[in-house]
Amino acid sequence: MNTLYLIEPKDVMASRQREREELGMDNEIEDDDDDQAQTVDKLDYKVFSLILLGALGDNVGSSGLMPLCLSPLAFQTFYTNANPPIMSQVAYKWISVLVALMVVPGTIVSPYIYNKLGLAGGCIMGNVITGIVTIFLLYIALAPASTATFGIFVALLYACFPFTVISQLSTGPMLETTSPPDKR
C-alpha cells in the first residue's frame, strides 16, 4: 500500500484530494510539484545533487542509529560494563532483530506525514528526530546502568526508529518529481 503512494507522486495528491472531498472541501488542491513532474524536460543537476547529497547524509545518519547506538553503546553499557550484566546476549539479539519490525509503523505513517509536510519536509522531520533520539540514547547510555535506563533505552530506540524510515522513504519520490521520464 505504501509503495503505491511513494512510487507515483500523483497518487499522494489523489489521496490528498480524496481526503479534502470527504471533509466537504470542494476546491481542488493546487499541485505545483505534480505539474512540474509532468513537464520537466531537463534534469536540474543542482537539485539532483542536493537530493543525492541529502540522501547520502540521511542514510549515514539513519543507518547509523542501529550500528552506532545499539551495537557498541547498548552492548557495552548494559552487558560488558554492567556488573552483573543487565542485558543478556539473547536479549541483545532479540532487540536487534525486533527493531526491524519498527519499519512497519514508519511505512504506515509516512503517507500521512508526506501529505502534511511534503516529501522534503517529511525527510527533514525524520532526520531531525533521528538526530535528537541519537543524542538522547547517548545520554541514557552515559547514565549508570540499571534496569530502568535499559528499559528507557530500548523503548526510545523502538519508539523513534520509524522516523528514520520516514526520512529514508522520501528520496525516490523526490528524484522522480524533479527528473524527466527518460532520466529516471
Report pLDDT digits (tens) over 56-66: 877 777 766 66
Which pTM value belongs to this model? 0.65
Task: For 83-103, write each residue's pLDDT tens digit.
Answer: 788 888 888 888 888 888 888
Rounded to whole angstroms, the Cα distance separating 94 from 19 reads: 39
Answer whether residue 1 shows pLDDT above 50. Answer: no
Burial of 131 (0-12, 13-18, 19+ CB in 10 A): middle
Per the prediction, the chain carries an average pLDDT of: 75
Confidence of residue 27 (pLDDT cuts 50, 70, 90): low
Of residues 10 and 123, more confidently modeled? 123
- Per-residue pLDDT at 38: 54
User: In the predicted model, what is the mean pLDDT of residues 161-168?
Assistant: 84
Are residues 113 and 125 in contact, defined by beta-carbon separation less than 8 angstroms? yes
The candidate with the shortest Cα–Cα distance to 70, out of 88, 90, 86, 93, is 93
Band of pLDDT at residue 164, cut at 50, 70 and 90: confident
